[in-house]
Structure formats: C-alpha cells, structure tokens
Chain A
Amino acid sequence: MPAYLRRASKRIPTKTLEVVQRQVERLEQAARNGHGAGFARCSPEVQDGLLQTWSQGDPEARRVLAWAIRTCLEGFLGHPRHGGNQGRLGWIYLGLEEGTDPEACMHLPPGIGHP
C-alpha cells in the first residue's frame, strides 16, 4: 500500500497536495492533543473516532478524507503492477480469485478464446 500511495501522491496537483498536508497535520495534532500519541499509534477505534470528528463540519477535511479513501481503495483493490494489492490480497478478500478473477482472460488454457 505505501508504494501505491507514494505513486498516487505524485499525480496530485501541488495546490491539492498542500491542502492534503495541511489537513493531515490537523488530524495528527488532534491525535496528539487528545490521546498523547500520533494518529498512526492510536488504536483502530480511536483512529475511527478521530477521522469522524476531523471530517465533520469541515468541508475541506471531508474532501481530503474522501480522496484518502478513494486512493487507499485503489491501492488495496487495484492491479498489483501499480504497487498496491500485493499478493492480490485485495482481490482474494473479495473472493475475486475464486472464479471471477479479473485477470481470468490472461490465464486462459490454450484453445479457449482462440479460433
């Protein structure tokens, strides 16, 4: 996932990236002020609460959260060649490796799909 996020952040316009950085700092500060630790060190339950509080009532924070969710989903469920979805774990999680493989047409046995 980090590899994908690093790649994805490169395609963000500079102005948007500044907004993301500003809002992430706000979130980080809220974690330190409220829980004495950075966001990454908080428990998942606390993290969810922090995200909820941070994104409510601030349209800019909500937009950043929406972007973060979209981007994480790309990393989790996108094609592994972009750096995320290592070992196709995202596809396996959804059951897509068990009969509805998105790459099925790449693994056809000889003779199927060909004249």
Chain B
Amino acid sequence: MSLEAWDAILVGSGAGGGPLSLSLAEAGLRVLVLEKGPRIAREDYRPDEIEVAHNGLFWPTLEEDPHTVVTRRTTEPTRTQLGWIASCVGGGTVHMGSFLYRFLPDDFRMRSRFGPYAELADWPYPYEELEPYYLRAEREVGVAGEAGVSPFEGPRSGPYPLPPLDSHPLAESLHQICHDRGLHPFPTPRGINSRPYGGRPACAYCQVCTGYGCRVGAKGSSQEALLPRAEATGRCEIRAGCMVRRITLGRDGRARGCLYTDPEGREIEVRARIVCICCSAVESARLLLLSSGPLFPDGIGNDYGLVGRHLQFHGVTMGEGLLPMGLDPSLAGYPNNFLGTSVLDHYLLPEGVSDLPKGGVLRFDLSEPTPVGAAQLLASEGEDLLWGMDLKLALRRRYREHRAIHLEVFHDFLPNRHTRVTLDPEIVDRWGLPVARIHLDLPSHHRVAGQWLLDRGLEVLDSLGAVDVRATTLGGTSSYLVHGTCRAGHNPRSSVIDSDCRVHGVPNLYVVDGSFMPTSGGAAPTLTILANSFRTADRILERGRRGELPEPG
C-alpha cells in the first residue's frame, strides 16, 4: 500500500510549527501538521483556574503523560509537569502571557562576550541575521509596542505594527518613579491586539490573560494568528490528537516521514520531503531519542550524545506588593490591570554581583485576579499555614483594602552539564512509550542574579507606595519556557543541528522550536522562537528553489 505523501510534515503546532505551517503553505507546499493535543475552540476558553490547574486543559495529566524529574538531591524520579509547555493546537502560544520581547545582540554571543563560563556558547548566527525575522514575526502575530523608547534595545528595521495596549492610570506614576531612579521604562511589547488587527478583535481588557486562552481572539497565538491562515491556503491540514511515535528513515539515512497513533488508536505512517520536529525542547529531544534504529542506535542526531543536553528553562524571579486603595482612586475597580511597563536597564549586572555579569528584564503589571492561586499562596507561604479567620483577614487585606502589583524578572537559565533530557527507563506514557526524564540542576547564578534584580524591582514598588513588598519566587525554574536540548551550531561534534535547524547528518530533518537555542537569553523567548521559525521556513524554501528538497521516500 502506498503511503500518504506530503511536502512537509510538522510535528507540533505552537511557536515553532505555526510560522512554518504558514510560510510553507503560502509558498505552495502541501503541509501536514500533526498535533498531539486537542483543538480547543475560542469560546471554550474560560477564566477557570481549576480547569487550567487540575483538569488538564493545556497539559497532559501526571497519570497519562508525565515527565519525570530528578535532581542532585532526589534518588527517585518524580512525576512532574515541568517542561510541558502545552498539548493542544497552538501549543504554548495559546496560554502565553504574550510578552514578546526581542533578545539583545549580546544574547547571541554569550561565549564571546562573557568567556568560558558554565556551558555558554555563541549562536550560529548573530542578532542582525534574525532581525528581519523578528520584524516579520511581530507583524504576523501582531505585537503592540513602542520602538525606540529604551536606549538598550537592539537595532530595528521597522516599528511595531500596533501601538501599545492601553494601560492603567497608575502606569504614569510608575514611569515617573522609574525615571526618577535613572531607569528607562518602556511599554512591554505584547502579542495582543491593541486595535483590531489581522482580522482579529482588539483586547477586551478582561484581566485574565497569562496562563489562559483568549476568549475574544485578541492574543496573537499560533492558533489565532498563524494556523488558520495556513489552513486557508487549502494546502495545510492540521490533525489534532495525533501522537507521533517515531521519525522514520529511508535506507539512505534521510527522513522518510513519521509513524503516529491517531485518536482512534490506529498506527499510521506518512511520508514527506521534509520533516520538522516542533514539539518543544523536551518533547522534541524525546522524539529524536525514541527514533533510534540501525542507522542511529542512540537516537537520531545523537552520534555524540548531545540530544537532550543543555536543557534550559528560564530564570524566574517574582515579587509582589500591595497598593493601598487610598493611594489612587483608579485602583478600585478600574477595568484594566496592564501597567505594561518593562525596564531593560539591568540586562547587564554591575561588576561584583555575580560571576557572570548577566541580568535580565523587569516587568511590572497589576496582578491578575486569579483568586484561587493568590489565596493558596497566602495560605502557604509563611512558616505557619494560614486558615480560618487569619486567612479571611489576609484575603480581605489583599483584595478589599489593596490592589496587588506584580513584578516579574526574566533572566538567563545557564546551560550546564547536569541539566538535560533522557528517556525514562521505567515510566511510560499512555501510548506505552518511555517518557522524558528531566535532570535538573540550578547554578547559583540564578539566585544571585535573581536576588539583585528582584531588589531593584522591589525598590520601585516601594517608591510607588506599595506595602508588604516581597519575593514570591527567587531564581526559580519556568516550567514552560524551555530551550536547548538540540543545540544549533556549525560543528556536529558540539551541536545537534546546523544554523538552519537541520539535524547534522539528516539533511531533510529539522528541529524548529526552542530546542535550537544555545543559550536561553535574558528575556522571554517566544518571539525569538517565532522569528527563528520564519527564518527556517525561508531556508527551506530557498533549498526548494535550488531543487535540493528530496522527493518523498
């Protein structure tokens, strides 16, 4: 029986798969997108903390499809959702906060800039190479921002396509305080429509954004901004609920296609001229490792044992303060929690703070009204558990007498030899396949840099009049900002894929998601993943024009 044949198979539909699907389908290629998770309708997104946290709206359950994690201290692997970005059409872009910062030029040359520290490496291309694709990504998904305000941003060849989102009146005071402290605040770039754009509506300012799907479609997710346009070409088909079990190879060592299990449990093999793995850093590495065979006994692309190495999350440090309602009349009931303010001044740390003088981005917003999470934190963060009247008073204080202001610090997660992905030798998923085991280690720089950056942010909150300013997370690990595992580079002995995201030694197999990133960058990475995917699509199409794409095997 002849196998179904496509020009391109994409495994995954998020920040990696979305741009590829659009670019390749618009250029005339027939594209099949295989997505493990379901397709959730826009109207089914609700501000429902329980559905998101417990009922597996975006993530698989620990029973059916976990990751496992081990650290230096743990002897037994623990089931975890760490490293799951999402499992649904649109991937993690569906629930992202959509903080679409560009990286700075130094992020692309960490080894050259800072020397041989930890396992830092330079990227195989510089900022200038990605800049046109940053601009394209901003235009394709619709980023609201203002260029040229921060003197620290990298060079740009064009403005943001949308003006900044409206902000809460308090943002004016916040900006003034930042200026008084010698800082340079700028509007946080958000992939959210500040005006109707791309056939999608403007933001409704519903206050429930990060961690949730957008009910009005204003967030520029892959599901909203990219995949429908790819499908509209008539050349892209998205199959949800399809679990890719392995990449199949021809006798010549090229990728032939893949084998997947459909929602009815049937195993189906499809073939294509090129295959792109876009299922997030942890799952993409896992799929390469699961695809071992006679040609690649340790997994595809793993001749030098590098697949899964250099796993990075993102350094996450957060703080909070309480603004007394009497501070500003707009605090009570103003229907907008965006302060939309970021500060890049501390992207580099002063000498003496840490061995590595690399800082990050401070972001300020009013806290989203997620009462379950906030109350659970209040109940458990102290030495003693809070319940009964003590907890009721704490809740009234937070919600009735104050409005919470949130500080988030994005900073680098350093690649290190202990943090990586392997196949778990014991635990399997509901398809009977070994799950990904995450080996996690946190270099001390994360806490040191996080503490210094946190202190700078809390100083701002303090000046604004906030009380109870405190850290809520210090040097933590972002569960769903995941990178590394298939490091891109020029040398096959020190990288898994080349500068065009092709697996070394398998010229028609690509890995196109956060896996390619040699270092994590000091800002949220989603725009960089989108931009790199647009760049990779261009490289694929150039090869096609040169007649270098093989016929389906």
Provide the B194-213 mask, 1 if CB < 8 A to any CB of A, else 0.
00100111111011100000
Q: Which of B49-57, B115-123, B145-153, B342-350 contacts A (4 or more CB under 8 A)?
A: B49-57
Query: Which residues on the B side are within 8 Å of A113 (C-beta)?
Result: 201-204, 206, 216, 218
Q: Which of B51, B334, B335 contacts A104 (CB 8 A)?
A: B335
Contacts A69-B380, A94-B371, A105-B204 given: A62-B335 contact, CB under 8 Å? no
Q: Which of B386, B387, B389, B400 contacts A94 (CB 8 A)?
A: B400
Residues of A57-115 at the interface with B, using a CB-CB cut-off of 8 Å, are 62, 65-66, 69-70, 73-74, 76-79, 81-82, 90-91, 93-96, 98-100, 102-106, 108, 112-115
Contacts A66-B385, A73-B375, A105-B208 given: A79-B201 contact, CB under 8 Å? no
CB distance from A43 to the nearest CB of B (A): 12
- Assess whether A79 is in contact with B51, with CB atoms less than 8 Å apart: yes
Q: Which of A11, A47, A77, A105 contacts B372 (CB 8 A)?
A: A77
The verdict on A51 contacting chain B, using a C-beta distance below 8 Å, is yes
CB distance from A66 to the nearest CB of B (A): 6
Provide the B377-407 mask, 1 if CB < 8 A to any CB of A, else 0.
0011000011111010001100110000000
Q: Which of B206, B376, B400 contacts A105 (CB 8 A)?
A: B206
Contacts A79-B46, A115-B202 given: A99-B333 contact, CB under 8 Å? yes
Provide the A1-24 mask, 1 if CB < 8 A to any CB of B, else 0.
000000000010000000000000
C-alpha spacing A95/B203, complex, angstroms: 23
Could you tell me how many residues of chain A have their Cβ less than 8 Å away from some Cβ of chain B? 38
Extra contacts besides A102-B207, A103-B47, A113-B202 (9): CB < 8 Å: A66-B380, A74-B54, A96-B371, A96-B399, A99-B332, A99-B334, A102-B371, A105-B215, A106-B215
Residues of B within 8 A of A (CB): 46-51, 54, 196, 199-204, 206-208, 215-216, 218, 332-335, 337, 369-372, 375-376, 379-380, 385-389, 391, 395-396, 399-400
Please list 21 pairs of residues, one from A and one from B, whose beta carbons are closer than 8 Å in the complex, sorted by A's number. Answer: A47-B388, A69-B379, A69-B380, A69-B385, A69-B387, A69-B391, A74-B372, A76-B375, A77-B375, A78-B372, A79-B51, A82-B51, A94-B396, A95-B400, A98-B333, A99-B333, A99-B334, A100-B335, A104-B206, A105-B204, A113-B202
